[in-house]
C-alpha cells in the first residue's frame, strides 16, 4: 500500500497502525470524488450459529450471482446476545470463527466490518426470562452503573466478554487487517440493554452511562489490549431522536453513521445532525422497515448519492432485509458510483 502523508483527519487512536490510518484518510476523501465514491457492503451473518442467519460467504456469493458484483465490505457479528448460556459462561456467546473468511476477503482486496449483539453482563447466564435472552431485557440505570463498578459481578462478566471479543480482534490485528468496528449500536433506541431507558427518552443519566461504557470499551481495547487496527463507528438509529446526545467524544470515534430501516429513505432524519460531528459518515446498517420483498435497493443507492452525498458506505442487513429478498439489487451494486470488491485496492494502493 502506498504511503499517504499529511493525513488531514487523524484516527481516534493515535497509535492506529499505518494501514488503518491510510484507509481512514481514503474514507475522508471519498465524498469529494465525482466517480466511484460509495463503498458497497453486505452482512454475512452471526458467527457460529446454525440456520439462515449463520455467518458464511453465502450472502456475498448470492449477491455476486445476482448482480455480477461482490460487495467490497463483508460484515460479521461476533455475538448473539439473545441466546442462553449457563451462569459464569456468558463469554461463550461470543465467537470469532468467522475470522478465517474475513481474512480471505481482506486478501482479495476487500474491507472487513465487525459488530456485536453483546450478551447482557447484568444477568448471570444471560437468561432473565424469554427467548430473546437478555439482549433486549431492559436494565435500570443502577444496574447499568454496576457494569462500570470495579469488582462487581456485572463488571467481571463485562470484562470477560471484552477479553473474548479482543481475542478475535487480535487475530486480525496481528495480520494488519483493519476492522470497521461498530460496538453498542442503535443506543438511542430502547430495544438493546445498552440503549435508551424508554422510547425517545432524554434520560441524561442513561446517556452519560452509555458514553462511559463506550469510552470504557475503547480504552480497554486500545490501551489494555493494544488493538491498533480498529476504526470505531458510532451509529445511532435513524428512527429515534437524541442521536448526537449519546456521542462519546471525538477521541474515541472515527466514523459516524446511521442504522436506517425505512421504506422512504428520502425522508430520514439525522443526516445533518451526524455531519455536525465532523467525522466520515456511513450508513452502517440499512434495510426496509416493511419486509414484504418490495424494497428498491437501486432507488436507495440513488437516494443516498443524491440526498446524502457525504455518505462513504452502506451495509445492508441479511435475511428479509437483504438485497437478495428485495428488488433492484443489480441497480444498486452496479451503480456507476459504487465501489465493489476489486475496486478498493489497486495493487498495493487504495483505488
- Which amino acids are annotated catalytic? 186, 285
DSSP states of 48-80 as a string? T--STTB-SSHHHHHHHHHHS--BSEEEEEEEE
| 8 A C-beta contact, residue 277 and residue 247 | yes
Q: How far apart, in whole angstroms, are the C-alpha atoms of residue 92 and residue 101?
A: 20
Rounded Cα distance between 315 and 78, Å, is: 16
Q: CA–CA separation, 53 vs 318, rounded Å? A: 7
Residue 204 half-sphere exposure, CB side, CA atoms within 13 Å? 0
C-alpha cell at 257: 453513521
> Rounded to whole angstroms, how far apart are CA atoms 130 and 96?
26
Buried b (16+ CB within 10 A) or exposed e, 254-293: bbbbbbbbbeebeebebbebbeebebbbbbbbbbbeeeee
Q: What is the largest CA-CA distance in the chain?
A: 54
- Grid cell for residue 132: 430473546
* DSSP β-bridge partners for residue 180: 113, 231
C-alpha cell at 231: 476504526
Q: Which three cell numbers stand for residue 255?
A: 466514523
**Would you give the end-to-end CA distance of the chain in angstroms?**
10
Amino acid at each position: 500500500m502506498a504511503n499517504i502523508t499529511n493525513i488531514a483527519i487523524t484516527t481516534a487512536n493515535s497509535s492506529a497502525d499505518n494501514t488503518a490510518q491510510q484507509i481512514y484518510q481514503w474514507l475522508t476523501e471519498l465524498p469529494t470524488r465525482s466517480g466511484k465514491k460509495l463503498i458497497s457492503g453486505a452482512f454475512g451473518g452471526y458467527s457460529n450459529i446454525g440456520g439462515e442467519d449463520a455467518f458464511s460467504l453465502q450472502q456475498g456469493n448470492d449477491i455476486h450471482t445476482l448482480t455480477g458484483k461482490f460487495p467490497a465490505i463483508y460484515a460479521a457479528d461476533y455475538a448473539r446476545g439473545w441466546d442462553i448460556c449457563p451462569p459464569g459462561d456468558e463469554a461463550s456467546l461470543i465467537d470469532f470463527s468467522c475470522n478465517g473468511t474475513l481474512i480471505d476477503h481482506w486478501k482479495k482486496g476487500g474491507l472487513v466490518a465487525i459488530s456485536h449483539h453483546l450478551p447482557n453482563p447484568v444477568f448471570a447466564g444471560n437468561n432473565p426470562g424469554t427467548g430473546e435472552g437478555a439482549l433486549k431485557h431492559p436494565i435500570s440505570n443502577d444496574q447499568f452503573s454496576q457494569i462500570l463498578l470495579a469488582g462487581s459481578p456485572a463488571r467481571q462478566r463485562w470484562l470477560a466478554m471484552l477479553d473474548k471479543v479482543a481475542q478475535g480482534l487480535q487475530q486480525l490485528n496481528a495480520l494488519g487487517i483493519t476492522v470497521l468496528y461498530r460496538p453498542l449500536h442503535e443506543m438511542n433506541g430502547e430495544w438493546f440493554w445498552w440503549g435508551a431507558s424508554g422510547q425517545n427518552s432524554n434520560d441524561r443519566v442513561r446517556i452519560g452511562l452509555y458514553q462511559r461504557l463506550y469510552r470504557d470499551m475503547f480504552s480497554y481495547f486500545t490501551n489494555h489490549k493494544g488493538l491498533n487496527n480498529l476504526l470505531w463507528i458510532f451509529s445511532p438509529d435513524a428512527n429515534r431522536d437524541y442521536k448526537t446526545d449519546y456521542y462519546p467524544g471525538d477521541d474515541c470515534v472515527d466514523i459516524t453513521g446511521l442504522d436506517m430501516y425505512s421504506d422512504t429513505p428520502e425522508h430520514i432524519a439525522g443526516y445533518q445532525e451526524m455531519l455536525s460531528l465532523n467525522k466520515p459518515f456511513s450508513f452502517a446498517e440499512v434495510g426496509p422497515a416493511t419486509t414484504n420483498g418490495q424494497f428498491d435497493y437501486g432507488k436507495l443507492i440513488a437516494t443516498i448519492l443524491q440526498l446524502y452525498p457525504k455518505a462513504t458506505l452502506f451495509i445492508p442487513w441479511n435475511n428479509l432485509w437483504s438485497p437478495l429478498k428485495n428488488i433492484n439489487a443489480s441497480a444498486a451494486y452496479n451503480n456507476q458510483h459504487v465501489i465493489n470488491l476489486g475496486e478498493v485496492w489497486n495493487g498495493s494502493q487504495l483505488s
